[in-house]
């Protein structure tokens, strides 16, 4: 009778799909039904009623703030917006034409050198640094953009909201209430999203009891990858290739025949409409009409129609990146800075998830099934 070999190696879960390593109160996602909630609150309610500041408090504390608590957070963020003068000089030395995510990663890492308590990994210490990072990422990004384009750096203002202040520092013009609200909504929609790659990366770094600046630097490095951040930039490239709504159907059909990826379409989690894309579509239409980008919006609408007709039966729909590029473009954000804006938004979720996980910290130390040889020996060079 032939011996039967039974493997005792555990199954490999590619990309850690389906692996649960922790519990969280922050984000709930039902990809089959297209539901996203922060601490139990539907994302649509937050987009309609909240602000980024309030949403940041919600994520950091797993509850909505009182009016006094929100006023305190607003004060804390406004008082921390300025970046160290030495770091501003470093940013001015960045080579022209750099990828903005390289610059942001370096700038965030450098912040640690200007913080005498950078290595304080108590919960209070991490919360302090979370405030610093939420407040200062907009200043870093705006300063980097302006120095890269030989423009005078615009200092932050303490009388503007988080969203308005960033647009002011970026464009040197105070935004309208409509522009401010549109950007606020865009930030709320991307503030958190479950255990995504960059959040997991930040937690993995923090689980070693490394400092928060190191953890966020890791998260930024993860976000830079084209499989995570950057899809909205690619959507704008796609729009330029299509040109007009009349070309959308043939363009998409050609992509599908060649089995090429359609940018801004499909999601690893959602098998129905990404709820964030529905909110952004509504506001993208308003912005497009007001700021003369109606052709781009109409082209996106036609692409969406073709995609739904061809791919919805496979659970493939537009995601949050589909309309966000048009929204950011209408707000004066250059295409190459779309991913840094993603980081500017997600910093609330990153820091909240890290603080939540490290309350009951366990170092993340997965294993791998060894599949190499088991009977190898060292040989002298002349015998190899």
Cα-trace Rg, the chain: 23
Residue 124, CB-side half-sphere exposure with 13 Å CA sphere: 1
Exactly one of 228, 291, 374, 377 is catalytic; which is it? 228
User: Quick one: DSSP state of residue 156?
Assistant: P
Q: Cα angle at 37 between 361 and 17, to 5 degrees?
A: 55
Give the Cα separation of 323 and 11 in Å (integer): 38
| Contact residues for 262 (Cβ-Cβ < 8 A; gap 6+) | 238, 252, 255, 256, 303, 307
Q: Which of 306, 307, 302, 337 is nearest to 319 (CA)?
A: 307
Please name every residue paired with 12 in a beta bridge, in sequence order, or none if there are none.
none
Exactly one of 267, 330, 374, 375 is catalytic; which is it? 267
Cβ neighbour number for residue 316 with a 10 Å cutoff: 18
Six token digits for residue 133: 């990072």
162 is catalytic: no
Give the Cα separation of 189 and 38 in Å (integer): 10
Under a CB-based contact definition with an 8 Å cutoff, are residues 187 and 174 in contact?
A: no
Phi, psi (5° rounding) for residue 185?
-65, -45
Q: Which of 62, 77, 319, 56 is nearest to 191 (CA)?
A: 56
Angle between the N-to-C axes of helices 338-358 and 212-224, in degrees from 0 to 180, rounded to the nearest 10: 140
Exactly one of 192, 274, 321, 330 is catalytic; which is it? 321
Six token digits for residue 68: 């006094």
Give the Cα separation of 360 and 206 in Å (integer): 12
377 is catalytic: no
321 is catalytic: yes
Six token digits for residue 155: 């200092």
Give the Cα separation of 65 and 56 in Å (integer): 10
**Mind telling me the catalytic residues?**
228, 267, 321
């Amino acid at each position: 009778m032939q011996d039967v070999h039974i493997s005792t190696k555990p199954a490999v879960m590619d990309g850690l799909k389906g692996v649960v390593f922790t519990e969280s109160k922050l984000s709930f996602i039902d990809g089959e039904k297209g539901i996203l909630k922060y601490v139990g609150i539907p994302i649509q309610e937050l987009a309609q009623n909240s602000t980024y500041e309030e949403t940041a408090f919600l994520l950091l504390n797993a509850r909505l703030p009182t009016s006094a608590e929100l006023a305190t957070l607003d004060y804390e963020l406004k008082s921390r917006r300025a970046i160290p003068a030495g770091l501003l000089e470093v940013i001015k030395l960045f080579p022209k034409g750099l990828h903005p995510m390289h610059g942001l990663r370096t700038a965030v890492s450098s912040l640690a050198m200007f913080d005498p308590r950078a290595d304080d990994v108590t919960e209070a210490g991490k919360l302090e640094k979370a405030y610093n990072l939420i407040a200062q990422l907009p200043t870093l990004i705006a300063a980097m953009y302006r120095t890269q384009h030989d423009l005078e750096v615009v200092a932050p203002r303490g009388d503007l909201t988080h969203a308005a202040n960033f647009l002011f520092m970026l464009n040197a013009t105070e935004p309208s209430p409509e522009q401010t609200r549109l950007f606020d909504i865009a930030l709320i929609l991307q503030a958190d999203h479950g255990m995504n790659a960059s959040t997991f990366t930040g937690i993995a770094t923090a689980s070693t009891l490394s400092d928060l600046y190191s953890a966020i630097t890791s998260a930024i490095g993860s976000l830079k990858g084209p499989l995570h951040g950057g899809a909205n930039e690619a959507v704008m490239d796609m729009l330029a290739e299509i040109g007009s709504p009349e070309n959308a159907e043939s363009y998409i059909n050609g992509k599908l025949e060649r089995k090429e990826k359609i940018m801004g379409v499909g999601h690893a989690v959602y098998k129905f409409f990404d709820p964030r894309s529905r909110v952004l579509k509504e506001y993208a239409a308003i912005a497009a009409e007001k700021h003369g980008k109606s052709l781009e919006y109409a082209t996106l609408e036609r692409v969406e129609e073709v995609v739904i007709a061809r791919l919805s039966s496979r659970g493939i729909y537009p995601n949050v990146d589909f309309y966000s590029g048009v929204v950011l473009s209408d707000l004066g954000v250059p295409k190459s800075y779309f991913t840094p804006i993603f980081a500017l938004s997600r910093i609330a979720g990153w820091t909240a998830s890290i603080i939540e996980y490290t309350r009951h910290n366990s170092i993340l130390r997965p294993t791998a099934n060894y599949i190499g040889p088991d009977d190898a020996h060292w040989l002298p060079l002349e015998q190899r």
